Amino acid sequence: MGVVILVVMAAGVAAMLTRRIPTAFALVILAVAIAFLAGAPLTGEHSVLDTVLQEGAPALAATMVAIILGSWLGRLLDETGIAGTLVRKIVEFGGDRPTVVALGVLAVSALVGTVTGSAPAAMLAGIIGIPAMIAVGVPKVTAAGTVLMGIAVGAPFELPVWQFFSTALNLPIPTVRGFMVKLFPFALAAALAYVVIETRRRGTEHAWSLKSVPARPRSRREQLGDAPWYALLAPLVPLVLALGLEVAIVPSLLAGVGYALVTTTKPREMNKRLLRTLYGGFEVAAPPITLFVAIGILLAAVKLPGAVDALQPLVKAVSPDNPVLFVLVFTLLVPLCLYRGPLNVFGLGAGIAGVLIATGIYPAAAVLGMATSYNQVFGVADPTSTQTVWSAQYAGVTPQQVMLRTLPYVWAVALGGLCVTAALYL
């Protein structure tokens, strides 16, 4: 039966790769199919309806709340002009020096990436940052990749991501935080190398075109001017609280929302801005929340006793237990997290991670290291990820061009993360 389950999982991957079924829907269908193949009854204990669907759907509720709050803070950074001001100040400081401007945009992207991920983060840093880089001669592909590499630098400190891995892998937040801190130097080194090498190796190209992107009207914040200097600290507030003072994730994000609001908004306008940005945050958060509902259902399915018993011998037979082989094999498998592949943690990869833990093949901390290492690749180089598509199109290039340019750098990040994982947990 284990072989049949693997065949069904492969069919699910094919459906997602060909875009015939949206990822979230494919994961739910896959979960129900696995549950039936594992011998789960329709209702009752360890059942399809009560365990997989009813208990699985809200399993990642804490992550969904964190996503909403992060999206809310991201909308505030946009509407209040905090993100735009950060980018403009960096560009003014860099002048006409391409590498300096790119490094500045990289820093802002990293800061924004700690608050929110995906396309909203790319837009916050890239709407001003990408045209500014191209205007001083940074090649278009390099400009798009710089924003994405910067977001990847901030990803190890993105609080909703901490909550996701904590809930999905049943690990305490301090364990997730500890590994993320160790992953950060690799992401930072790769991003710096990307900017320095690509801006110098490719030379300067003074051409700017946004053929497919309509003109963006000036926001009210842009018309009023820059945000106050002290408001620019807003993205750091949740990070300082969660990382430095070990405050819980939800209150840390709420503190960031409150700080951004108080430092930029007059008292009589606070209520309207709070509601407006909160509703806007829900719009941004809707796609990832839908995906996390599906992932929770899939995790519930692969953890059913019947599924664990069927998959354990097969997974154990192909999973390397030697630390050197672990690093070698899973480094070679990095491309499988691209194009919504089977190792994409925000797709079927979450189910595979659940299988590895439920069957006892690897400790949960080792699966955390593997999944977060792959996430660094997916977040930058996957041509189907929303932030990659937006950044590439806004710069006037294709996502595949960005993938080819950034993949060697993020592959190295994954290698570093897997080496740390093997050294610490195997």
pLDDT in tens, 4-22: 887 888 887 777 777 778 8
CA-CA-CA-CA torsion for 129, 123, 103, 413, nearest 10 degrees? -150
Tokens (6 digits) for 221: 């914040």
Report the pLDDT value the prediction gives residue 225, as an integer from 0 to 100: 60
CA-wise closest residue to 273 among 261, 257, 284 = 261
Report the pLDDT value the prediction gives residue 224, as an integer from 0 to 100: 46
Tokens (6 digits) for 366: 């080792």
Q: Is the dihedral of CA 302, 307, 308, 313 positive or negative?
A: negative
CA-wise closest residue to 346 among 327, 374, 369, 381 = 374
Q: In the 8-state DSSP scheme, what is residue 269? A: G
Tokens (6 digits) for 31: 């979960």
CA 119 to chain centre: 10
The residue type at 269? E
Q: Is the dihedral of CA 335, 341, 346, 350 positive or negative?
A: negative
Phi, psi of 349 (to 5 degrees): -60, -30
- Residue 324 to residues 102, 134, 268, 327, 329, Cα–Cα distance (Å): 36, 42, 61, 5, 9
Q: Kindly report the CA angle at 57 between 51 and 61, in degrees rounded to 5? A: 125
Report the pLDDT value the prediction gives residue 220, as an integer from 0 to 100: 46
Buried b (16+ CB within 10 A) or exposed e, 56-76: bbebbebbbbbbbbbbbbbbb
Count of residues in the chain? 426
Over its length of 426 residues, how does the chain's per-residue pLDDT go in tens digits? 668 887 888 887 777 777 778 888 888 998 999 899 888 898 888 899 999 999 999 988 988 998 898 889 888 888 888 888 888 887 777 777 888 889 989 998 898 888 877 777 788 888 888 888 888 888 999 999 999 999 999 989 988 889 989 988 889 999 999 999 999 999 999 999 999 998 887 655 555 444 444 444 454 444 546 788 888 888 889 889 988 888 898 999 999 999 999 998 888 888 999 899 999 888 888 888 888 898 889 888 888 888 888 877 877 777 888 899 999 999 999 988 887 777 888 777 888 888 888 878 889 999 999 999 999 998 888 887 888 888 888 888 898 899 999 999 999 999 999 999 999 998
DSSP string, 188-247: HHHHHHHHHHHHHHS--------TTSPPPPPPHHHHH-PPPGGGGGTTHHHHIIIIIS--
Phi, psi of 397 (to 5 degrees): -130, 180
CA-wise closest residue to 352 among 332, 380, 330 = 330
Report the pLDDT value the prediction gives residue 331, as an integer from 0 to 100: 93
Buried b (16+ CB within 10 A) or exposed e, 174-207: ebbbebbebbbebbbebbeebbeebbeebeeeee
CA–CA separation, 381 and 341 (whole Å): 13
CA-wise closest residue to 115 among 227, 247, 253 = 253
Helices H / strands E in the chain, number of each? 19, 0
Tokens (6 digits) for 214: 């309509």
- Residue 200 to residues 195, 364, 396, 410, 418, Cα–Cα distance (Å): 8, 42, 20, 19, 30
The residue type at 402? V
